[in-house]
A and B are shown apart, each in its own frame.
Chain A
């Protein structure tokens, strides 16, 4: 006999369950967790190399790097004097909460103020997988074209911060910064906006200050 079973479950409930556990753990340990997402080559690692050394004078920082292959990004972060652990996904296009949970065993969790997750370069898949982070920072670089937010609305919607990187190249790339931000605001008006260049240093201080402020807020949080 055939029977219909009603299921009221999220398809990614398993990932969500681990992400919820991680969020609870990060709240308890007062660890601000930031998930950096972008297309490949937008400059996530370069931004981290620039802003983390200064922040590390005040805070204990750990970085989890996600890539399909190679240890290169983690090595770059370590060269900047920051603890980093590389997850190589072996082809998978995003990080999942389980991978983060496993990676945490490489760090002294009682002694972290800021955990940065640099997701696999991809503006689609990482949008669906909660990693227990406090917020996502989406990085869009000027050579990618100003309509990136319109093309990848899901990622824009789930992010809290947008960084327009390689801003020094905007005029050569004929990248209209305001147009790009307009697309983004129509999808998510709550986005906090930064314009950065790792070449000229523009905007990096402001981004670092924002993260610093968030670390302080997290520490003031009662965790309840």
Chain B
């Protein structure tokens, strides 16, 4: 009754979730490149929040493995690490967190919403179009 639903890559990197994320990223890069009639992709810039549970080296490794033979094969991946910032619902103060104790650094409340740190976003793709 069961079946295998994952075939993320023919290269055997499908076991890390970073590989799954790299494949999703690459799909968007390739799609954007073809929409822009690019010859090749030079660079890709992404934002990764510190709370996104991503190992940058693993993501880089997976991206480099998966990009081979695609329009993005020479693309360089730039990862911007985004700090965790929370805004207090009580006093509106913004706190930046190094550790995982999301307490307002002004008033001590735990009624804090994270305004950054969970990103897994693409920012910019540089393409060569002639």
Contacts and interface: CB of A to CB of B under 8 A. Distances in A.
Contact of B129 (A1, A13, A96): A1
A6 interface: yes
A9 B24 CA distance: 11
Interface stretch (A24-32, A44-52, A85-93, A214-222): A85-93
A11 B46 contact: yes
A11 B120 contact: yes
Contact of A7 (B32, B38, B114, B128): B32
3 A-B pairs with least C-beta separation: A125-B17, A86-B2, A153-B100
Nearest to B54: A128
B51 A7 contact: no
A224 interface: no
- Size bracket of the A interface: 35 or more
B129 A2 contact: yes
Nearest to A126: B17
25 contacts: A2-B42, A2-B127, A4-B124, A5-B124, A6-B123, A6-B124, A7-B124, A7-B125, A9-B122, A10-B122, A11-B121, A12-B21, A13-B24, A89-B5, A89-B6, A91-B6, A92-B20, A96-B5, A124-B53, A125-B17, A128-B17, A128-B54, A154-B52, A157-B114, A186-B110
- Size bracket of the B interface: 35 or more
Pick the most buried of A8, A154, A188: most chain B CB atoms within 10 A of its CB. A154
Given A3-B36, A124-B17, A186-B110, A102 B5 contact: yes
Contact of A128 (B42, B52, B110, B122): B52
Interface string A120-134: 000011011100000
